[in-house]
Amino acid sequence: MDILIQFAYVVSGGLFIFGLKQLGSPATARRGNMVSAIAMLVAIVAALLDQGIVDFQWIVIGFVVGGAIGAGAARMVQMTSMPEMVALFNGFGGMASLLVGWASLAGATETFTLITIVLAILIGGLTFTGSLIAYGKLSETIGSGAVMFRGQQVVNSLIVLGILGSAVMFCIQPENPQWLYMVVGLSLVFGVMAVIPIGGADMPVVISLLNSYSGLAACAAGFAVNNNILIVAGSLVGASGIILTQIMCKAMNRSLSNVLFSGFGSGVQDTTEVEGEIKPIVVEDAFYILEAASSVAIIPGYGMAVAQAQHVVKELCELMEENGAEVNFGIHPVAGRMPGHMNVLLAEADVPYDQLLEMDDINPRMENVDVCIVIGANDVVNPAARENEGSPIYGMPVINVDQARTVFVLKRSMASGFAGIENPLFYKDNTRMLFGDAKESIGGLIREFS
């Protein structure tokens, strides 16, 4: 049995790596997710059998109950709420690692084991509460802006010192539970304090970073319980999360420390006056321009998710292609509220993957685009990032939609984006504002084509 369990660990580790590789492409991501899920199932079953305290009956019961809860939650959640669900997944992963680390305390006497227990509890605790705050900001059940107050850095420093002191005392006196309780409590508080100063516009970075934290917590828990596959899986999640976080930061031309500690959007005011006037357009006039276009670029944003317009966007795309237009989608790395948000929405609508172009691929083509349709995107198409040195997002790479011959911006109102910054794109001479629900507006264009 021991040989079979070790073989299962090796197989699951290989499947984890293979699945993670496939998650790197939209074309294979769904398959990669399934492979990784199978790898996790194999790893869990092998780990439970390795403990010698669980039989197949309980494994099956846990699989059925957990699978039912997961399937029900995944089916009920709206696509607009997917970022919040991912935040909760990260939080639950952190809490699981905290509980595993705590449970492994029984009989632990070696200093190395005690250190890994502390790390699992610390990282798991801050991941849990930090993810809850991220969930609240994404769902806007709490304010999405950065929460800053005088002396905040001093308070955070005291919390960190308290954690370090309690962790050291716990390793010296593991029989005294009060030090462990201090680590647990302070880690939960630190998770809140670490995320509240981060504005909603930076939530994609926070989501990927918390994902990395959940992996690191699992890795520490793996050392605590001496389980190799948990160490491997946690390391893979932690490393991939850090890489993705770095990609997100690069896409915003900001460092990770700037994201975590700058309090983006708090106390920053751009006093530059935007020149020009708004030029609204109706569906009928927009149709005539689209009908004559030979090249169309569609830039989706969170507004498309809110309107649940991805399916009608796909239908409009097909009609324009039948009319002789070349249609592509421009995907900004931080569009939406989580990494890959737009890719998930468009994949759900079966948009061909070869039409999804990254920012660096779509920008060189923009000057030759007849019509660029911006659906609910705001900050990622804001030309102030290039033109206005006083803007909070100056230097952030954006999709240069203003260089297209004509720009349609689909918005409900003139409200600013999640970053709360005015967008001069709306006042450009080549921009036309198509106000209203994006799904209804695109539906109107479809009826005109039909």
Whether 379 is catalytic is yes
Selecting among 50, 202, 379, 402, the annotated active-site residue is 379
3-state secondary structure the chain: CHHHHHHHHHHHHHHHHHHHHHCCCCCCHHHHHHHHHHHHHHHHHHHHHHHCCCCHHHHHHHHHHHHHHHHHHHHHCCHHHHHHHHHHHHHHHHHHHHHHHHHCCCCCCCHHHHHHHHHHHHHHHHHHHHHHHHHHHHHCCCCCCCCCCCCHHHHHHHHHHHHHHHHHHHHHCCCCHHHHHHHHHHHHHHHHHHHCCCCHHHHHHHHHHHHHHHHHHHHHHHHHHCCHHHHHHHHHHHHHHHHHHHHHHHHHCCCHHHHHHCCCCCCCCCCCCCCCCCCECCHHHHHHHHHCCCEEEEEECHHHHHHCCHHHHHHHHHHHHHCCCEEEEEECCCCCCCCCHHHHHHHHCCCCHHHEEEHHHHHHHHHHCCEEEEECCCHHHCCHHHHCCCCCCCCCCCCCHHHCCEEEEEECCCCCCCCCCCCHHHHCCCEEEEECCHHHHHHHHHHHHC
Structure tokens belonging to residue 134: 């991220």
Which residue numbers are catalytic? Answer: 379
